[in-house]
Amino acid sequence: MNTKVKERDHYFDNAKFILIFLVVLGHFLTPIKDQKDILYTLYNFIYTFHMPAFILIAGFFTKGVFKKGYIQKILKNVLVPYIIFQIIYTIYYYKLYDKDDIHLTLFDPNWAMWFLLSLVFWNLMLVVFTRIKYSLIIAIIIGVAVGYFTEAGTYLSIQRTFVFFPIFLLGHYLEKKDFRLIFKPSMKILASLFLIALFAFYHFIIPDSSKDWLLASSSYADILGNNAWYGGFIRLGMYTIAFLATFSFLAIIPRRKMFFTEMGQRTLYIYLLHGFILKYLFTTEFFHTLKNQHAYFVVLLLAVSITLILASKPVVTIAQPLIEMRWSKLQFMLKKYRKKPAEV
């Protein structure tokens, strides 16, 4: 009996690899973006679509949300790695920065861990939102409204969870036939022109403070002060730009198999591990030297190298047991590395 094996879609693996490279590049641009206008422009440009596109693709692959065992699978594959690396990064910061004590909290994500926590919430929210009418419109309204709550902040990644949820929900509703619309040659041309125009827009028009809107982790009051009342209108504008930029980016992604296609299946490893390198470099003179020498091209080379290395089979083989740790071992870690009293 012949069994037909379904071929993996190269397009989405290509998109995920390029996106994770942009995540790494964006993080390495963070400490030097203020040095030159072009660096700040590149930073804003990347942050407009790299996480929205990632989130849209993640939402696209949630078609089985109502299947038996789906939520349990999300908890195992997303929540457990979040808890594990929340613990590991807490210990790493304790050692790296010579902190007085280990303060472990599972409710305020360390750095990039917000995405995993939000991903869990997004999947849970799908169960509710896919059952109601006009769910996408309601999700956008909530995403706009949450910016008026000054106490939300980074706790449980609430701000980002609600701000980015409409993109995740849209991804859930999309079908493969919808993507075919952006694969047309005419759409690719329009997409390229839009991305060029967006880059120019950031470089020549929009102020540096746009990064606060792109990160989506601050309330309107934090960004605008007493003028927070019109923050919702700005967020609606940012939604429009993010949607257009995301689909423009996805329109120009190659659909054939590339040399990096297979690495697109290992983006979680890159996402979870590159922070160890970046945070270590913060304790050295590396970025200070780059600023003095104006050797900003080194950041690009470093981002490429780190992305390729962390996606390599040897690194994945070593990290896999940690990322796919069982719940029983996780419970042991939680007991061992509970909050410790400060050393006197």
Q: What is the pLDDT of residues 217-257, one digit of tens each?
A: 999 999 999 999 999 999 999 999 999 999 999 999 999 99
- Nearest Cα to Cα of residue 16 among 192, 250, 189, 184: 250
CB-side exposure of 332: number of CA atoms within 13 Å?
Answer: 5
Tokens of residue 338, six digits: 């509970």
Q: Would you put residue 326 in left (φ > 0), alpha (ψ -120 to 50) or beta? A: beta
- Across the 344 residues of the chain, what is the mean pLDDT of every consecutive 10-residue run? 58 97 96 92 96 97 92 91 92 86 85 95 96 96 93 82 98 94 94 97 81 90 92 96 97 95 96 96 92 89 97 93 68 56 40
d(CA 50, CA 48): 6
- Looking at residue 326, its pLDDT comes to 59
CB-side exposure of 317: number of CA atoms within 13 Å?
Answer: 3
Cβ of 100: how many Cβ atoms within 10 Å? 11
- Looking at residue 274, its pLDDT comes to 97
End-to-end CA distance of the chain: 71
Q: Would you put residue 258 in left (φ > 0), alpha (ψ -120 to 50) or beta? A: beta
Q: Would you put residue 216 in left (φ > 0), alpha (ψ -120 to 50) or beta? A: left
- Looking at residue 150, its pLDDT comes to 76
Secondary structure letter of residue 311 according to DSSP: T
- Looking at residue 338, its pLDDT comes to 53
Helices (H), the chain: 10-29, 37-60, 70-74, 80-96, 114-129, 135-145, 158-173, 176-180, 185-204, 210-215, 220-224, 231-251, 267-282, 286-293, 297-310, 313-323, 327-336
- Looking at residue 124, its pLDDT comes to 96
- Looking at residue 215, its pLDDT comes to 92
